[in-house]
């Protein structure tokens, strides 16, 4: 009889221990409570929990991706926009995540939403579009400081969508078009300036060499003849034109009758005599 009772007691003890065996995965931790008091964090591997005296709370240590819903924000330059973001965080201290706050995930979501509205409202629209990385880093640092006491580490916060009003989009398109036109005009002006400098240098070289102009004329003739085969070119040296200009007699200022070949004499009007006063 005693042996039977001992056997039944051993069997019950084995069943009791087996009922308390827990297999904890690599990315999980168990916060164990003994008679209501959190005394240690268990895992990973096989852990023994004594039912009736102990209970547990399982915590996942993997990185959690939390979407921050669309928020309506007024920027520093009074532009109303809508933006959404995503937050990456994980539990690094299971003891604090269980004992310090009731629902750490909801609390982190609320903190992320309020911080997003507060920080983005301090920047202009151009800064939100151009300095995205700096704003993301600032958001992550601020949210991480607030969730540190809960045992939560914020790894990154990314602003993923920025909805701009249609009127502002048209204004930005006009501004971008004007900026492109300005750059095009600057590039064209710089090209004209460089071309003028090169042409001035080429003119100095050609003027310093007597045969350079003639070679240039021959090159021009070759180019024209290759395109316009019916064009007749009669090159006349510039020196000949200058000689003809100097040797030509000065033009007569007296008009000539082409029928008789005699100059036309224009009678001069007689001066009026002033009347003497009596």
3-state secondary structure the chain: CHHHHHHHHHHHHHHHHHHCEEEECCCEEEEEEECCEEEEEECCEEEECCCCCEEEEEEECCCEEEEEEEEEEECCCCCEEEEEEEEEEEECCHHHHHHCCCCHHHHHHHHHHHHHHHHHCCCCHHHHHHCHHHHHHHHHHHHHHHHHHHCEEEEEEEEEEEECCHHHHHHHHHHHHHHHHHHHHHHHHHHHHHHHHHHHHHHHHHHHCCCHHHHHHHHHHHHHHHHCCCCCCCCCCHHHHHHHHHHCCCCCCCCECCCCCCECCCCCCCCCCCCCCC
Do 20 and 68 fall within a single domain? no
Q: Determine the Cα–Cα distance for residues 89 and 105; give it in Å rounded to an integer.
A: 9
Q: Are 97 and 179 in contact (CB under 8 A)?
A: no
Please check whether residues 55 and 69 belong to one and the same domain.
no
How much is the pLDDT for 94? 92
**Does residue 52 share a domain with residue 119?**
no
Distance of CA 204 to the CA centre of its chain: 47
Structure tokens given for 9: 């007691």
Structure tokens at 257: 């009758």
Establish if 189 belongs to a structural domain.
yes
Q: What is the pLDDT of residue 88?
A: 95
Indicate if 72 and 148 belong to the same structural domain. Answer: yes
Q: Which range marks the domain in which residue 42 is found?
A: 15-59
Q: Which of 31, 59, 87 is the last residue of a domain?
A: 59
Q: pLDDT tens digits for the chain (278 residues)?
A: 676 667 777 777 777 777 778 888 999 999 999 888 888 898 888 888 888 888 889 999 999 999 998 888 888 888 888 899 999 999 999 999 999 888 889 999 999 999 998 999 898 888 888 888 999 999 999 999 999 999 999 999 999 888 887 777 787 778 778 888 888 889 888 888 888 888 788 777 777 766 666 677 667 766 766 665 665 556 666 666 666 666 665 555 555 555 565 666 655 555 444 444 44
For residue 29, give both structure tokens: 């931790």
Domain shared by 104 and 120, yes or no:
yes
158: domain CATH number is 3.30.479.30
Q: Is residue 147 part of a domain?
A: yes
Q: Give the sign of the dihedral formed by CA 42, CA 43, CA 48, CA 51.
A: positive
Is residue 6, in this structure, part of any structural domain at all? no
Of 67, 118, 70, nearest to 88 (Cα)? 67
pLDDT, residue 254, reads 55
Q: What is the pLDDT of residue 165?
A: 78
pLDDT of residue 127: 86
Residue 8, in any domain of the structure:
no
Query: Nearest to residue 105, comparing CAs of 137, 173, 59?
Result: 59
**41 plus 23 within the same structural domain:** yes
74 and 159 assigned to the same domain: yes
- What is the domain count for the chain? 3
Question: 160 and 66 in contact (C-beta within 8 Å)?
Answer: no
Same domain, 150 and 72: yes
The answer to the question of residue 224 being in a domain is: no
Q: Are residues 51 and 99 in the same domain?
A: no
Asked if residue 5 belongs to a domain, the reply is no
> CA-to-CA distance for 132 and 247, rounded, in angstroms?
79
Q: What is the pLDDT of residue 276?
A: 45
Domain membership flag for residue 122: yes
Provide the pLDDT for residue 126: 84
Considering all CA atoms of the chain, what is the largest pairwise distance in Å, rounded to the nearest integer?
Answer: 183
Predicted confidence at residue 273, as pLDDT, reads: 45
Number of Cβ within 10 Å of residue 157's Cβ equals 26
Domain assignment of residue 183, yes or no: yes
In a shared domain, residues 40 and 54: yes
Instruction: Please tell me the total number of residues recorded for the chain in this structure.
Output: 278
What is the model's pLDDT at position 277? 43
pLDDT value of residue 112: 92
């Amino acid at each position: 009889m005693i042996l039977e009772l001992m056997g039944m007691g051993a069997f019950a003890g084995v069943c009791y221990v087996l009922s308390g065996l827990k297999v904890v995965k690599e990315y999980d931790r168990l916060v164990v409570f003994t008679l209501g008091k959190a005394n240690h964090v268990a895992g990973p591997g096989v852990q023994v929990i004594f039912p009736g005296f102990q209970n547990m709370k399982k915590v996942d240590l993997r990185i959690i991706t939390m979407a921050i819903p669309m928020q309506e924000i007024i920027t520093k330059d009074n532009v109303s926009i809508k933006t959404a973001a995503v937050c990456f965080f994980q539990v690094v201290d299971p003891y604090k995540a269980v004992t310090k706050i009731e629902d750490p995930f909801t609390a982190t979501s609320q903190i992320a939403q309020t911080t997003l509205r507060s920080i983005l409202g301090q920047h202009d629209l151009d800064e939100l579009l151009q300095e995205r990385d700096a704003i993301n880093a600032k958001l992550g640092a601020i949210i991480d400081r607030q969730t540190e006491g809960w045992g939560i580490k914020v790894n990154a916060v990314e602003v993923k969508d920025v909805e701009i009003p249609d009127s502002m989009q048209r204004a930005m398109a006009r501004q971008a078009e004007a900026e492109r036109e300005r750059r095009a005009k600057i590039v064209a002006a710089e090209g004209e300036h460089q071309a003028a400098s090169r042409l001035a240098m080429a003119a100095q070289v050609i003027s310093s060499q007597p045969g350079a102009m003639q070679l240039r004329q021959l090159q021009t003739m070759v180019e024209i003849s290759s395109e316009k085969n019916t064009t007749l070119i009669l090159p006349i040296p510039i020196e000949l034109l200058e000689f003809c200009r100097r040797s030509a007699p000065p033009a007569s200022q007296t008009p000539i009758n082409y029928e008789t070949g005699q100059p036309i004499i224009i009678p001069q009007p007689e001066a009026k005599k002033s009347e003497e006063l009596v």
